[in-house]
Amino acid sequence: MNSNHSSHFKIIAIAALFVFVGIFPAQQAHALANGTLWGWGMNYFGNLGLGWADYGYDPVLGYSRDYVLSPTQVGTDTHWASISAGNYFVMGIKTDGTLWGWGNNYSGNLGLGDTVNRWSPTQVGTDTHWASVSAEDSSVMAVKTDGTLWAWGYNANGQLGLGDTINRSLPTQVGTDTNWSAGTGKISGGYANSAAIKTDGTLWVWGSDIFGETGQGSTNGAISLYYPTQVGRERNWDKVSTMGQFTVLATKTNGTLWAWGDNSYGQLGLGYADYSGNGQHSVPAQVGTETNWSSIGQGDTYSMALKTNGTMWVWGRISPSIATSCGSWICYGVTVSPTQIGTATDWRSLGVYPYPQSLTAIKTNGTLWDWGDNSYGNLGLGDTIARNSPTQVGTGTNWGSVTVGIWGTMATTALLACTATTISNCSLPTTASGSSVGGSCSSGYSGSCNYLCTNGVWSQNLNSCTHSACTATTISNCSLPATASGSSAGSCSSGYSGSCNYLCTGGIWSQSSNSCALSPTATLFAFPTTIDRGYSSVLTWNSANTTSCTPSGGFSTGGATSGSASTGILTSTQNYQVLCTGPGGSINSNTATITVLMPNVSLSATPTRVLSGTNAQITWNASQVESCIVLGPGLSSVSLSGSRSVPITSQSTFTVICQTNSLPITKSVTVNVPTTFGEF
């Protein structure tokens, strides 16, 4: 590993008023309503954006000047919309759509066309259409408002998706697609891999495939995939993280959690670990059965996540630098399945970096809490003393999101505004803290409502909205329209099959019938797809939301919902499918075709009638065979193809015999010699 490209942890979280939230190396960063930017911890490369970088000991201060022990504001700008940090550098987007970078620029990762470090935020080009950015190690991925995907920086593993391993110092478009999603957690750069989700819900991964982290069902050793490659066929991916070294985590829109890649330390959370180096999982595997995962993140050998109920979870191999044991704040050792950290249920977002390990998290009341390694004041507590349990940073209650990296933190702080929402059937607009605003009763309700916004939290002032009908909603995966009392209607939500029907009584839905279940999905692929006659190939199938799979085309699944099987010896081109069945119905996979190349042997003589003492041209050609021998008067050759001029004195027969991996193939041709001139 290049010493300038350290490993990392990145968390992708849901937080109001923010375009992107992430955990990154080199510092922490927070983006709040008023968009001011703050930093603390190490400032080795000017990565805190404070206009200076220093490496020396200050005898007056009593510590190196590159330590910033408490939150310090970066400039006076109040327009920061999102931020993302990499290896001692930060990228940020302002509300006007401009892109900015500062800190370490070793690999051209600031996108400024050079490799010169910057100590203050510096604008990248003049474009005003940047929507989201993800920086990690020394690589950057970003999406514009037109849905195009861009990349720059370090590219040794092909993680920029540009078809090569050449570093870039300017933003370079990845392909020509215009449907890349710019939402929270939709793009993720990584040390060895990158990933992104499109607006159609498909997931794409590229870069290293050492441990099967591209999710293609096989490992390619040291080979990388240099272009975005789709993972499976599902269209319900929600968030993705490639921050783990050779591992990938992702969530789907149904709240399920999936993982694949290296599992040497149980960091996939699948209930086991393989220390032999062969513990990889090359296709997405579901982690448990829960459907309430909201945030995901990874370190080198461990993973962390939040659930929608505000609990915090961890699994994999953890250093003791930030905790004592399982049941306190983090598990020390190896935990192969998600294990809850503490008992708190009010965590809103979190940030972790693997080495030196430290944690930071925000609670639902807007307070910020740090613990773990504090060698460079990166906990923001005014000293360099480590903490092994959460300690509040200051007294502020207006932190919005958090990222943490190598010995440093960045943040923006301001009073939180209240975002648009619907409370008790009262629809409210986005408004600033301290405002009292009138809302409007939701469709199907009548009356009046008014709410007060206090530091990002709505409190009720007046609400007399009462229902007159049932409003559109989704219950148990059954999508219901707004309808009057007494009516009944429903259809299974996208991705579900079956039927449902609900009755509206006094503005309240009551169930009549509901058999909606997740629609099954199935994929099948062959490797290799082209073989010689007499050889075999391997078929691999994967499915989701199924209980059994039945093959067609002459191979066996044993009813398993995923697996691999040999085709056996093939003598002709074959097509294969699997039919997979689950609670939501049945589905046929795509057709996998294995093309069998047939042996081809030809032998000719020109001409086929000659006068005695003249020559004939004997020509032969063979393909998809192992060897050939050509025999005849005046001719003997061991080659797959050739042409010889042979003297003919009497009727002569020439024969080619080609050996295949089954039966030999024989072809003959005869050159005739007329006995009289009239016969010629």
CA–CA dist 188, 180 (Å, integer)? 12
DSSP 448: -
Residue 387 has pLDDT above 80, yes or no: yes
Lowest mean per-residue pLDDT among 230-244, 279-293, 337-351? 337-351
SS3 (DSSP) at 534? coil
Look at residue 588 in the predicted model and tell me its pLDDT: 93
Please name the CATH architecture into which domain 519-597 falls: Sandwich (2.60)
What value does the mean pLDDT take over residues 184-201?
A: 88
Q: Provide the CATH topology of domain 600-679.
A: Immunoglobulin-like (2.60.40)
Q: Do domains 10-411 and 519-597 have the same CATH topology?
A: no
Q: How confident is the model at residue 330 (pLDDT cuts 50, 70, 90)?
A: very low
pLDDT of residue 17: 26
Output the pLDDT for position 243: 83
Per-residue pLDDT band at 1 (split at 50, 70, 90)? very low
The reported pLDDT for the residue numbered 62 is 59
pLDDT of 362 reads 82
**For residues 289-298, average pLDDT:** 91
The number of beta carbons lying within 10 Å of the beta carbon of residue 573 is: 14
For the entire predicted model, the pTM comes to: 0.59
Q: Where are the domains of the chain?
A: 10-411, 421-467, 469-517, 519-597, 600-679
Q: For residue 348, which amino acid is it?
A: R
pLDDT for res 292 = 94
CA distance 604 to 620: 6
Q: pLDDT > 70: what percent of the chain? A: 83
Q: Across residues 621-628, what is the average pLDDT?
A: 91
What local confidence, expressed as pLDDT, does residue 10 receive? 33
Predicted confidence at residue 63, as pLDDT, reads: 56
| pLDDT surpasses 80 at 505 | no
The CATH number for 10-411, chosen from 2.60.40.10, 3.20.20.70, 3.40.309.10, 2.130.10.30, is: 2.130.10.30
Identify each DSSP E strand in 59-188 by its residue range. Answer: 63-64, 67-74, 80-85, 89-94, 99-103, 118-123, 130-136, 139-144, 149-153, 168-173, 187-188
Kindly indicate the confidence band of residue 401, based on its pLDDT and cuts at 50, 70 and 90: low
